[in-house]
Homo-oligomer: A and B are copies of this chain.
Amino acid sequence: MSVDCVIWLDGEPTTNLPLPDRGLNFGDGLFETLLLKRGRPLFVEQHLQRLRLGLAVLALPDCLLTARRHLESAATAVGNKGWNWAVLRLTITRGAGPRGYAPPDQPTVRILVEASKLDRNCSQMSTPAGLCVAEIRLSSQPFLAGIKHLNRLEQVLAAAEGRAKGADECVVLDQYEHVISVVAGNLFVVRGGELVTPKLIECGVEGTRRRLIIDNWGPSIGLEVREATLGLTDLDDAEEVFYSNSLLGVRPVATLGERSWDSHRVCSALFQRILEEVT
């Protein structure tokens, strides 16, 4: 393990997960990825709000207060290290349990926090990304859509595809050929003076930045945001395309297959808007 990565389990520094653990055995748990600026975690409330939803969906014990405390301790430790930018991955599992899929009646959750140093300067917008379209389709599972659970093989396979094709990111479609997102972020298209982002009913993750763009940042730069069903032709027809996630904020899209975009005006304005928010 790199020295630029530190892990805590239930608040204690560790390099290990006790076994057995249902997070490993079944992906029975949740995670969040938070950006830290000089030891200050950004948009914690939004992350905890999604986590709260995930805990309810998976019927996990309400450990939000404890998770918040462990996040804060980890953030302080990161601040003391003098890391300028860092990322915290919070992982919550249903802990140990007897063999078999059925969860124990009284699970004891495990709360892991992993802090990693980021070498990138997150105050600068990333260079425009080259995208491909993943061959693997996201499966429809309305029970789990939106939350950030630990079952992420589809994302792993799509990311592997993207890297094999030399792309920076992959557009992922659902089984009806609707555009859902990129592998690690939510997609937005600019068209006719409005921002449009895919509806997330049957699959996809409801990103913290996606919600902030819809409710707050989009309108604050004069753009209404609409959730809609989108196909690949809607990307082709867009004046501008970008995606959002917790580490990049927003990142412009330069190309998708043959199509390319030169204008990143809206994305740049949003990035500036986010910067104001975090300084």
**Contact surface of A with B, Cβ cutoff 8 Å:** 1, 5, 7, 14-28, 31, 58-59, 87, 89, 91, 93, 96, 99-103, 112, 114, 116, 136-137, 139-141, 143-144, 149-160, 162-163, 175, 183-184
Contacts and interface: CB of A to CB of B under 8 A. Distances in A.
A151 B101 contact: no
B20 A7 contact: yes
Oligomeric state, in copies: 2
19 contacts: A5-B20, A14-B19, A16-B16, A16-B18, A23-B24, A25-B31, A25-B89, A26-B156, A28-B156, A58-B157, A87-B99, A89-B99, A101-B155, A101-B158, A103-B160, A139-B141, A144-B153, A144-B154, A151-B151
A116 to B, nearest CB: 6
Contact of A24 (B137, B144, B150, B175): B150
A15 B16 CA distance: 9
A256 to B, nearest CB: 19
Nearest to A29: B24
A65 B31 CA distance: 34
B7 A19 contact: yes
A172 to B, nearest CB: 11
Given A17-B17, A19-B14, A24-B24, A136 B143 contact: yes
A24 B156 CA distance: 13
A19 B31 contact: no
Contacts of A157: 58, 143
B160 A27 contact: no
Nearest to A136: B143
